[in-house]
Structure 1
Amino acid sequence: MALSYKARRRWALVILLIGLPLYIILAVNILNRIERPSIFVELLVYVALGVIWALPFKFVFKGVGQADPDQRD
């Protein structure tokens, strides 16, 4: 079942305000537990993790910045 526009907006807000900070904390803590790699490897890991977090939520964020398609003029 597809999410409505309002539901997608709400879920996007929850993901950005709660899920993303938790993901950042988790990623930093995991990388701090291993031996620190060179700065370039660490940068590549953080860039990759920064892109990977959004892929599962692509359907939620798609079209959220647009006008409500269900709203009548």
Structure 2
Amino acid sequence: MALSYKARRRWALVILLIGLPLYIVVALNVVAMFDRPSILVELAIYVGLGILWAIPFKFVFKGIGQADPETRDD
């Protein structure tokens, strides 16, 4: 079952306000596990984790910035 536009907007807000800060803490802890890696390794980890978090939520964020397709402009 597909989510409605309103539900996707709400889930996107929850993901950005709650999920993303938690994921940032996890990413910082992953980098802290290494004993001060070089700047390129650290950058690669942050870029990889930055892309990795968004892949499962792609369907939620797709089309959120556009007008509601379910409303009519009569």
Structure with more relative contact order (C-alpha pairs < 8 Å, separation 6 or more): 1
Deviates more, 1:24-33 or 1:59-68: 24-33
Q: CA deviation at 1:33?
A: 2.4
Aligned: 1:64 with 2:64: yes
For the aligned residue pairs, the C-alpha RMSD in angstroms reads 0.8
Give the fraction of aligned pairs with identical amino acids, expressed as a percent.
74
In structure 2, the gaps of 5 or more residues are: none
1:47-62 equivalences in 2 (<5 Å): 47-62=47-62
Q: CA deviation at 1:18?
A: 0.4
Whole-angstrom CA distance in 2 between matches of 1:58 and 1:49:
15
SS in 2 for 1:54: helix
SS in 1 for 2:68: coil
Partner of 1:39: 39
In structure 1, the gaps of 5 or more residues are: none
TM-score of the two chains, using structure 1 as the length reference: 0.95
SS in 1 for 2:66: coil
1:2-17 equivalences in 2 (<5 Å): 2-17=2-17
Q: CA deviation at 1:39?
A: 0.7
Whole-angstrom CA distance in 2 between matches of 1:70 and 1:12:
18
* Count of aligned pairs: 73
Q: CA deviation at 1:29?
A: 1.4
